[in-house]
Chains A and B, each alone.
Chain A
Amino acid sequence: MNTQLLVVTIVLFLTSISSYLLRHKTISRYSLYLVTGITLSFWIRVENIIELTTLGVVFLLFYLGLRANPSLFERNWKVSVKTTFWITLLVTIPFTILLIYQGFTLFDSIILALAVTTGSSLVAIKLVKKEIEKGLLQGKLTESINLIHDVIVLTVLAVLSFPSNPIKDVAIIVALFVVVVVVRDRFANLFFKITGKSKELQLFVAITILLGLSVMTNLAGIGLLIGSFLAGMILSNHKTSYEIRKNIEPLKEFFIVILFVSIGLGLGIPTLNALYLAALLIALTIIVVFAHQIMLTQQGIHAKTSFYTAIQMDQVSEFVVIATLFLYLDSAVSIYVYEAVALAFLITSLTSLLTDIYKEKIFSFVNKEAFVSAKNIPKQNHVIIAVIGKVAHMLYNDLQDKNTPLLAIDQDPQKVQNLKRYIIGDINKEETWEKANYKKAKAIILFNPAFCNIVKTSKAKKFLVHTSKIQGFKHIDMKEAEQKRFNQIIQEILKT
């Protein structure tokens, strides 16, 4: 029987089953793969699939590199760099010193400190996907801070793993990043000139660049991980980088399963020491979150945006986990450092999903005073609009000079700050609605059915602008417009 085939099949089978069964649960896929690895660690050794794991690492780094496009972050760069600088100075370095003082080696201490203070791009960017698409500040900040974290982690790990001449290594890495940022547009144009629209050729040229740069950086003495990331960055600014990402995704998905299962295989059942250390790391991520929030607020970012960005830093970086796995297999770090880092990654990638779901509640709990702010709240006979989008703005501008006062409610300060009457607050809380005197309002217009329960007792005329209907609310289906117009246009086109 082909052992390698059997191992891969078992790995895929278990991950598929668990992913399918838990598809509706808020569980990170990577944690599931890791748990599968832990389960299989009694029968399978990580060495059995180490080659496929290596491919998993390079494809994952390449994929993350493809997402790392500094030009998209505009002026958020400055804020992100400053924040990371202060976090490094005030949290990472003191924590490293503390660990050394506690008897850890310099190597282990830096790994542990990096694990805590840098977030996971894989988990965080997925969580803020919608915010990134909408161009919201918290999304952009999360993306840019994570990219800086990735670059720092890769640089430090490259220097640590091959410590013969750290200054030369850092110089090479910085030079490579600069060269990549400067030449990547020309390079990408050449790439597409060569491949044309052939997806197959695009895939092969992209993988060749990936493997070529990995081999080159390895020969330069800084390891192949940094080369894989840089290969992605080279193609990240091109208009069709999205297509390459899509094309490479099946390969990444296949190998990444093996990679994370391997992390689990290496982990097995952790020792008590590792458990203590993991608990310490997890507790410290909370400090890191608040440190990020403070740094961001200090730079003029709104408290809520700062918090929503900072809370995405509550995981352990996957880069650190991956590098630690290989360092552990090479006996460069102690087993319980690896176990602690992997365990902390597993737990924080699970808790991170929960903190994302409950971030509003956590924010309102932590920032009670700062949370609600309001301006010119009418006492009665007013029209309340929640939440604020373009239609709400149009209505507001159109009707604000009329006799009926309009009150806007939204959680995002950026959306309402310029309006005449508003409340910035948690719309899920009855307190906020009471502040808006909703019981005495003339009309309530909701653009989200989630708040219908709170206001249903009000005698005001209630409207719900949404695709779903709710009893007691006059339903305005926006899709009706599309359907009507669609008919009209088709008839017009067919007549011509």
Chain B
Amino acid sequence: MVTAHVRYALALALTSACCVMAVVAAVAWSDDQVGLATPALFTIDELDRLDLGSEALDDQMRWSAEIVNGDRRMTEADRAARFAPPFAESLTAASFNAEIDALNAELGEARFVRIIDVEDQIVAFLAATDAGPALTIAFELDDDGRFTFWAGVDSTTGARLPGWASGLALAAAWTATAASVAAWWASARRQAWVLLALAIAATSLVLVLAPSTVLYALGRTVPFVAIPLATWLLLSPARSAVRRHAAVWSWVAAAGFGAATFALDPRAIGHPSLPALADEGSATLRATLALAAICTAVAFSVVVAEHGRLLRPHADRTVGWSRPARAAAAVVATLGIVVAIVTAIDVVDGDAQFAGDVGRGAALVLLCAIPPVALFRAVSARWDRPELAGLVIELEAGAASLDHAVSAAIGGPVAVLRSPDGKLLVDSAGEVVDPESLGAGVELVRVQSDGALVGALTCPTDATERRRLEAIAAAVGLALRIELLHEQVAEQLAEVRASRARIVEASDAARRQIERNLHDGAQQRLVGLGMLLQAARRRSSRTADDELTALLDTATDEVRTSIAEIRSVSRGAPPPLLTERGLSAAVGALAERAPIPVDIAAPAQRLPDRVETTAFYVVAEGLTNVAKHSHASNAAVSIVRDDGYAVVRIVDDGRGGARSGPGTGLEGLEDRVAALGGELIVTSGDGGTTLEATLPCG
């Protein structure tokens, strides 16, 4: 099993490789300006034997060879001495060609190309080896028959790849570019990134190893499509207007760079002898470069600004671009702006060569930035899904506003609709939303959970790629379902609480009724009966009927026992005293019956009946436990009314060990307290037991 770490490492390696390729390609692209790519790796020993019929010319050739070989560095003095005319010797095309032919014959192969006379120039291609770059030496013949000597190396003709391979790479680059356009069109952003990275890699291959200038030139055209597309992708998901502007800017920039590059370096599109489209100092060229640079700066500034805004909607969020990525983007944007300024200055006063260098430098940075960004976007989309992860984290943490969280994840204004009944969609204001009435450019994404419609998202059409949208919808579905379940549970809980309270009240009322019936009915009758028996006994004792008197005494005793039994039925129930004199009096009566001294602190004012009854039960149970189990020597009861709550506390200094559990009096008490919406806490330890009930009492 490949772990995420290994996959991450692979992605990093791939990205780095692409980056290196891109740098090499970019350098190769601007070789003749920067000169870094000139691989002066061949030795032209043959030049020593070259006899052009002129000591000075031969010397010049040998010197050129040394320069080309890197054995010697060219100084300003050299430039003045070597490149300055005149070479007084007369050399015609014919005599030069004769020399070349002789040399080739001597070497046994056609290593040197003959002189081509183009207008006033004589150009010689000295193809030194099959694989290496060619030394180009040009002699300019002036009116006086003198030669001006030019030497240079063109690496582009030093093919490392066979033509078919290079062609294949070029085809791959263009195919990948086209496919990335298609993928982007189909909202498959991740695939577009991968294809784009592939295109850049293939392009790099062509630029470095192309066997011909034609292939090379064609390779250079790929970035002109790839750069704007990358810009577009970077901006997705962004507001469409911003994305459109940035893409237009970057396309203009790419076109400007293209035009300027070709103008400066005609050999890039084919033959070295082609003339420049514009004079190096021409205003048109400079303006083109300036425009391109400014467009680049604008495009990248927009990219950075948009990402800064879109991916980091909250300053404290760690979701979105990492700090290094944002820093890199900022550097690129700044570079673009600097280039724009430099170029703008250059347009007013400067030489086009410098402007060209700066322009190419900016393009180079662009080109280098794309592959790593592309790959990391792809990788992070696959393994991190940072926005999605951020959404899930926000939802889990209980996002204050679902709309806000989802908007941040999608990157566009999103409204979350809810469907309490699984049919109608309702917005946050509670208004029913008709899906048909949504405006153009707004898409309705239905959110389902467990097969039932729970809501929907309205978001800008094409705000993000389809699969991501589905993932976000799924996350929102979970959140909405949880929300729905919460509401249902809360409703049911309230229902259950109310019903529990009703049950407790009903049972209390029933108990009171039974007790009243017993006391006012049966007990009264028994008392009356006892009285009659006593009356009868008195008479019998007067008539000295001892047997009858004894009988009546027994009957009276039975009556008394019955009365006591009836009285015991109501033991533990709130006495009439509670309703008549209040909680304080009733608790006082409870304390009187306790086997140990009980301090009482209770408010004289009355509380709601339900609260008084429950509080009474709490104190009764608490004091019963104190009497039965605690071995305490002191106890205290306090009832405090505090901010809408009555807090009933029974404290003893006994040995603790009180615990609520099934079948205990405390469990029943907990139910009773909970039925009122209150809470019962038992704290029991070595220092005694505290029973505390908090009862809401409006």
Please say whether chains A and B are actual partners in one complex: no
